[in-house]
Homo-oligomer: A and B are copies of this chain.
Amino acid sequence: MMKVAFQGEPGAYSEQAVFGYFGSVLTEPCQTFDDVFEAVHAGVCQSGLIPIENSLAGSIHQNYDLLLRHQLHIRGEYFLRVRHCLIGFPGTPKDQIQRVISHPQALGQCAGYLRSLGVKTEPVYDTAGSVKILKASGERNLAAIASRRAAELYEMEILQEGIEDNPENYTRFLEIAPQPVSVLENAKTSIVFTLKNQPGALFKALSVFALRDIDLTKIESRPLAGKPWEYLFYIDFLGSPEQESVQRALSHLDEYALLLRVLGAYPRFKVV
List the interface of chain A (C-beta within 8 A of B): 32, 53-59, 61-62, 104, 108, 123-126, 166, 168, 170, 198-200, 202-204, 206-207, 209-210, 213-223, 225-229, 231, 271
Contact indicator A55/B219 (Cβ below 8 Å): no
Closest to A167 in B: B226
Contacts of A59 in B (CB 8 A): 58, 61
Chain B nearest CB: distance from A179 CB in Å? Answer: 28
Docked Cα-Cα span, A62 to B57, in Å, equals 7
Contacts of A198 in B (CB 8 A): 215
Contact indicator B222/A221 (Cβ below 8 Å): no
Contacts of A226 in B (CB 8 A): 166, 168
Docked Cα-Cα span, A204 to B213, in Å, equals 12
Docked Cα-Cα span, A222 to B223, in Å, equals 16
Chain B nearest CB: distance from A206 CB in Å? Answer: 4
Chain B nearest CB: distance from A52 CB in Å? Answer: 12
Contact indicator A61/B57 (Cβ below 8 Å): yes
Docked Cα-Cα span, A83 to B67, in Å, equals 27
Contacts of A124 in B (CB 8 A): 125
Docked Cα-Cα span, A123 to B227, in Å, equals 28
Closest to A220 in B: B221
Q: 24 interchain pairs (CB within 8 A)?
A: A55-B223, A55-B229, A57-B61, A58-B59, A58-B222, A58-B223, A62-B108, A104-B125, A123-B126, A124-B125, A125-B125, A168-B227, A168-B228, A198-B215, A199-B213, A199-B215, A200-B210, A202-B219, A203-B207, A203-B209, A206-B206, A218-B221, A219-B221, A228-B271
Docked Cα-Cα span, A131 to B166, in Å, equals 34
